[in-house]
Amino acid sequence: MKKARSLPASRPAPEDDLAKLKTRLAEAEETIRAIRSGEVDVVVVNAKKGVQLFTLEGAGHAYRVLIESMNEGALTLTTDKVILYANQSFARMIKCPLEQVTGSSFRRFLSRADGSALRALMKQAATTGSKMQVLLMAGDGSQLPVQISVRELTNDDSGRVTIGMVVTDLTEARRTEELLRALANRVVQVQEAERGRVALELHDNITQLLCAVLFSSQALADKLSASNGPAKKEAIKLRQMLGATAEEVERISRRLRPSALEHLGLAAVLRDTATQFSVRTGVTVKLDCGSLIARLPADTELALFRILQEALKNVEEHARARHVTVSLGRQGAFVEMVINDDGVGFNSSQHAARRKGQGVLGLLGMQERAAHVGGVLTVKSGRRVGTEVLVRIPVAPETDLPTAVSA
């Protein structure tokens, strides 16, 4: 009896292969037609996983019209930062033809430092939108300050991940910021000039008048005999009140225009300010100026003095502190002043938001004072942990600080 032999599986008929090829050819022709008509944008990317084809539907959709009419640059990128799509606004920003932008790497428009920062930013884009400010390198060699906002996008059909990016030109915002800063500086200058004028008026007119009345009240008290007991007591009391008033006017005059700052230097004025504050409020102030030798520029000394004034005012009005420490010293190319208190503290971000728009008052005023001389002021605080005010102002290498004084 012969054994049955197994037969090979039947192969698809040539007609089936031909039908599949025709179908794929029809799909390819339809894709090419859509690309040519502008219904679909296509970018071919040589990625790490091989050649990938990205299609961006758009020409027939209202959102594309919206994106093309935006003043901001709008882009989509691969995770390798290859630009799949860019609108005309972005091309105008970087002064490159749009056809030279699409398909290129976004890294070509960034410095090495900004490229590293963007890499870290894009890692955060998967969970939340992220923003940063960079300088774009335009095609003509110029640099453009921009803010970029990135967000991860996922195609529901293919599951492919891309990055959406909006680029905002900050040139006008920077120009406006510079104008506002110049205006704030001018306000500070006018304020100091007005303070000087008022201080001079107080010293030359009001104080002299008070002194004249004080001498008259003293003469009146001396003329009254013991038999005029009640009247003599009132005259003496009036003389004491006038003396206290004259001292207070003189104190206000010194605060408005610290002439001692010009003659004795910053350390002496800070010591006097700390002493007066302690006497008036009962709050202990420890001042440490370190080993300081020479004088700072006049505007830097004035800025530091005003910042300490405002900080102590905040301590008196809000902090409910018992101790304040102030340290002033040279740190390389900077002079630093640190003011710490052990008060109740506050939420610095919420406080700044409430004070926004109030000019040169409070914390904003202190920051403007520091910025006026090229410095930076930062505030660290929290509920029940006290407050630290740190100001750093650049000084010339040959410039040193006033003679050390501690209180």
Whether residue 296 contacts residue 315, with contact meaning beta carbons closer than 8 Å, is answered with no
Which pair of tokens denotes residue 7?
């037969």
Reported pTM: 0.54
Q: Residue 311's pLDDT is what?
A: 93
Q: Give the residue ranges of the chain where pLDDT is below 70.
A: 1-14, 28, 30-66, 125-129, 155-159, 290-294, 348-361, 397-407
Q: Residue 244's pLDDT is what?
A: 87
Q: Residue 167's pLDDT is what?
A: 92
Q: Residue 6's pLDDT is what?
A: 45
Whether residue 316 contacts residue 274, with contact meaning beta carbons closer than 8 Å, is answered with no
Q: What Å distances lie between residue 83 and 50, 62, 91, CA to CA? A: 17, 22, 12
Q: Residue 5's pLDDT is what?
A: 47
Per DSSP (E only), the strands in 73-229 are: 73-77, 83-86, 130-137, 143-154, 161-169
Q: Return the residue matching tokens 């110029």.
A: 142
Burial of residue 79 (CB within 10 Å: 0-12, 13-18, 19+) is middle
Q: Give how far the C-alpha of residue 239 lies from the chain's centroid of Cα atoms, to the nearest Å.
A: 53
Q: Residue 403's pLDDT is what?
A: 44
With residues binned 3-state (H G I as helix, E B as strand, rest as coil), the percentages for the chain, rounded to 5, are: 50, 25, 25
